[in-house]
Amino acid sequence: MGPNMVVDLLSIEANDAQHDAVLDYYGRRLATCSSDKTIKIFEVEGESHRLVETLKGHEGAVWCVAWAHPKYGNILASSSYDGKVFIWREQNSQWQKIYEVALHSASVNLVAWAPHEAGCLLACASSDGNVSVLEFKDNAWSHQVFQACGSGVNSVSWAPAVVPGQITSASGNVAGTARRFVTGGSDCQVKIWEYSPETNSYNNIQILPGHTDWVRDVAWSPTVLSKSYIASASQDKTVRIWTTSDPNLREWKSTVLNVEAVAWRVSWSPSGNVLAVSTGDNRVSLWKERLSGGWECVKTMEE
């Protein structure tokens, strides 16, 4: 998730009604959202935080908030049980809703911004089985909607814009940036999607099977090393870590991490080498890949 670290994994969820808490790119602002239909913006200084704004407008519990990259301004997206996605912007210390999206017929469970190199893109995962992708370009919003999982999409996470093994020019520039993301659904499947400029559509290029219950969360590691990493969290009390060295993302291997309760959230560190796992027993565990292979739990925290 890059600098937008999900700090709710580390104890902000003490209040059951609070669903998400995310720091902005610079770590100076914290956005939280909850069942009371509001979003709160805090200024963060050292160990203290101060409430500066409460954003209202959603008609149901707000499940997720996500900061855009600062190159696009002070932009926050929110998604709710009411089936809507709002885009908020701060200008001159004033927050206002600048765009409202009502493309879904059921709860929008998660929203995620693409890496900024790929453009100003927001993916939205909904219980209606669809994913919508919003794009801000040439001073206007456009959108695409497609079915990703008939029984409901719980999560979505973008790949780095540069894929391991992709060719870079002598100047260090990448020969084209890819638009790819992974979804987790109530069909127990993890699916990888890729944008095709030729057809102007997102196509399912790979299904990663193995989970035996709902996939609650997915997270694509932000690092561009020799391998791609995806983590998936499931109600089957496992987390799977999927790896590939294939630049076409067709051949994946998976490692199963057994946890003691339903796995709710997974989040990579900005450097991509540590995975935080949040489970239903109010624990957060940190996992690291061994040099010799395999993954080990290096720390467990209880609320």
Instruction: Calculate mean pLDDT across residues 4-11.
Output: 37
Distance CA 274, CA 295 (A): 10
Mean pLDDT, the chain, integer: 90
Is position 45 within any domain?
Answer: no
Is position 111 within any domain?
Answer: no
Is position 288 within any domain?
Answer: yes
pLDDT at residue 255 tops 90: yes
How large is the C-alpha radius of gyration of the chain? Answer: 18
Instruction: Calculate mean pLDDT across residues 173-177.
Output: 54
CATH number, position 201: 2.130.10.10
Residue 14's pLDDT band (cuts 50, 70, 90): very low
Instruction: Calculate mean pLDDT across residues 85-109.
Output: 97
Segment 144-165, tens digit of pLDDT: 999 999 899 999 999 999 866 6
Segment 122-147, tens digit of pLDDT: 999 999 999 999 999 999 999 999 99
Q: What is the pLDDT of residue 172?
A: 44
Is position 264 within any domain?
Answer: yes
Domain span at residue 220 reads: 155-164+178-302
Closest to 2 measured CA to CA, from 112, 110, 108, 111: 112
Is position 229 within any domain?
Answer: yes
Closest to 7 measured CA to CA, from 18, 17, 21: 21
Is position 283 within any domain?
Answer: yes
- Spatial neighbors of 62 by CB under 8 A, at least 6 apart, are 19, 20, 33, 34, 35, 37, 38, 39, 78, 79, 80, 81
Residue 18's pLDDT band (cuts 50, 70, 90): confident
Residue 3's pLDDT band (cuts 50, 70, 90): very low
Is position 139 within any domain?
Answer: no
Distance CA 25, CA 301 (A): 25
Domain count for the chain = 1
Q: What is the pLDDT of residue 271?
A: 84
Residue 15's pLDDT band (cuts 50, 70, 90): very low
Residue 112's pLDDT band (cuts 50, 70, 90): very high
Is position 53 within any domain?
Answer: no
